[in-house]
Amino acid sequence: MTIRFERVRYQFLGIALTGIITLTAFIVPISVTHASADAFSSRLNVNEQLQEGQSLNSGSGRFRAVLQYDGNFVVYEGDHALWANGVNDYFGPNHLVLQGDGNLVSYLNGTPVPLWSTRTNGEDADRLVMQDDGNLVLYNDRDQATWSSKTGKLPPPPPPTPPPSVLSIGESASQSISRDGGYSVPVGSKDLWIFNDTGVFTNTPPAAPRGLDIMNTNGTLQEGQQIVAGGGRIRAVLQHDGNFVVYDGNRALWADGLNNYFGPNHLVLQSDGNLVAYLQNGTPLWSTQTNGQGTTFLAMQGDGNLVLYTTRYVPLWSSQTGRIWQNNADSSWYQSAFIQSSTAAIQATPANAVPTSLNEVGPSTSVPSQFLASPTNLYMPDSSQRACTPQNGANYQARWPNGVALMPNGVDVLITFIDVCVTPTLFRAQAWGFLEYNPSTRTMTQAPTQVFLPNPNGAETPEVGLGSPVIQGDGNLVLFTSACPGRFVTCPGAGSTVSAITITDVSNTANLLDAENYASPVNLAVPTGAQNWRPLILNVVQDIVHGGFLMVEQSSIVGSYQIFRSSSPTGQWTQVADAVMPGCRALTKGFCYAMIPHPEISSSASTLYVSFFDPQAGPDPNEGHLVMATVPSP
């Protein structure tokens, strides 16, 4: 369904949000009943399902394909992982089904949301067999293999012939790498083979020592080498069979699914930011598809997540989420932006296309659950010192997250929020605070805490507008605030200010809890070239395309915006655009707001993707919808 905003309670829930976090950070758990373990032998027949904890075992018992309780479907020889589909339970438990069309699909329990598939629909596979040679194979009723864990889709090819290769008369050969990572050699009109069909993505070499916790740019991992964390218990090892696997002890958490069918391979972290698996002859087999991101490093974290970061600690890819925007096997996309009172978002799009609108994960017929509980200690914003209650004329009290940033530990995220009393004509932030959240465990490592308490006079001060957290490489946090005399439809220029506050060493939560650390805001200068500086709402992010920082300033809630750039979060800022969001100029109802810039998916230096709330989008005329749009980015 579309992300719905309840017309009263959620009317303003898109305002002032910012930040990109791990893909599944705010998924609402789905209650399921796990099936008991083991119920299958070596075979899964058409229309049968494999639940978490169940496995297929080869005839000798040497090999097994188990759907683990963490959601990953893994082929083992003993405790040695040979292959994995890379799915996890961050969206909730899943199950596997061999459909009547021949496609083996992993579905989120209780939903029609596909998480992974063999892409063999229409090929009439009627059984999945765990063989005694360690190969997990789909067969049709003519005993033809349509997919296997060793080769991906299509029957395995003969071993590659060393050059010179021989073609039949009238045939030609070339090689290509699709954007989804499939590597193919077509001969005439037929693909001889496709490698890594379940895979991730594409795009050279000094050796990395064994046992590092990070791999830096131009580092290489050879077979038998590993990156470790947690005293060696957590490790990402490039096995001698060519598979790159993340382990927690003897349990495989993730694998890239490669093998040495075509020869040994090695991993290279290229200077363009892409992590690539290459054959010894230079043929690419798999990549994180992060080329064009500049200098990066690969970190094996103690939470079991293998993460590719920029030098500013912006996560670009992880083993638990894939790219921060994840193109799934069925051409759907998962968005990682934090949308208030919702889960993450998903949209089915044409292959290789960027989403233009988003839908909730998983499908639901009701408004998404509210992420943060509402405060109960606010006052009416009219200086009457009365409680913010419907009896006194208020609509409701709300706690709106207004910023998200990944903490220096690479595990938790910092979420800032404002507490507001909303009336039919006004809302005003009265309190400000933060929490720390662990997306892996879906738990709060620091409970929501009001650093600045509600004001009985209903007055707004600059501190309670703090948002857009930017955590720099030195571990210091910069927060931004705009103080606007009339923060509703427009913000008059007179009296408006924009400030930044820096908190040192945010890894120490006590520094965030101490209100005195927020006492010295730095007023930002009017940006160079700004003609109409009306700072109603600000969203500041790190720009991984151009470098430095990007600010989208929302100057009204009818779609007006300005874009500014700076090499430093505290300026000097320079205006580069002043316009109205697409479709917002001719509104017949509602407001356009919640503008979040997404440079992480803006591959063109001259184009910026922005998500925002469009009151006229979506199938229901009475509800708006979160949409994606491209705007010029000079």
Which of 164, 160, 17, 152 shows the shortest CA–CA distance to 83? Answer: 152
CA–CA distance from 13 to each of 209, 428, 459 (Å)?
49, 13, 21
Range(s) within the chain of domains with CATH label 2.90.10.10: 27-151, 173-323
Quick one: pLDDT at residue 79? 81
- What pLDDT score was predicted for residue 395? 80
Burial label, 133 (beta-carbon count in 10 A; 0-12, 13-18, 19+): exposed
pLDDT at 619: 57
Contact 17, 339 (CB under 8 A): yes
Torsion of CA 617, 620, 626, 627, to 10 degrees: -30
The pLDDT tens digits for 282-291 are 888 888 877 7
Cβ within 8 Å of residue 222, ≥6 positions away: 207, 208, 238, 266
Reported pTM: 0.47
Tokens at residue 235, please? 């490790």
Fold classified for 27-151: Agglutinin, subunit A (2.90.10)
Nearest to 562 by CA among 570, 554, 574: 554
CATH 2.115.10 occupies which residues in the chain? 345-632
3-state secondary structure of 483: strand
Q: What is the pLDDT of residue 496?
A: 59
User: What's the order of all strands across the beta sheet hosting 306-310?
Assistant: 214-216, 296-300, 306-310, 315-318, 322-323
Residue 513: Cβ within 10 Å count: 13
Please tell me the distance from the alpha carbon of residue 126 to that of residue 132, in angstroms, as a whole number.
19
Task: Estimate to the nearest angstrom the gap between the alpha carbon of 239 and the chain centroid.
Answer: 27
> What's the fold here for domain 345-632?
Tachylectin-2; Chain A (2.115.10)
| Nearest-angstrom CA–CA distance, 431 and 400 | 11
What's residue 615's pLDDT?
77
b/e burial code for range 365-383 (CB count within 10 A of at least 16 → b): eebbebbbeebeebbbbbe
Question: Three-state SS across 137-149?
Answer: EEEECCCCEEEEC
Tokens of 274: 């892409």
470, 313 in Cβ contact below 8 A? no
Q: Are 568 and 543 in contact (CB under 8 A)?
A: no
What confidence score (pLDDT) does residue 66 get?
92
pLDDT of residue 170: 34
Nearest to 336 by CA among 20, 18, 17, 108: 20
Exposed/middle/buried for 126, CB within 10 Å: 0-12, 13-18, 19+?
middle
The pLDDT, as a whole number, for residue 595 is 80
Homologous superfamily of 173-323 in CATH?
Answer: Bulb-type lectin domain (2.90.10.10)
Please say whether the beta carbons of 633 and 607 come within 8 A.
yes
Give, in order, the Cα–Cα distances in Å from 606 to each of 529, 570, 609: 19, 24, 10
Q: Would you give the distance in Å from CA 617 to the centre of its chain?
A: 24
Residues of the chain with pLDDT under 70: 1-40, 88-92, 111-114, 151-212, 230, 259-262, 303, 312-315, 320-372, 438-443, 460-463, 483-496, 532, 534, 536, 544, 600-603, 617-626
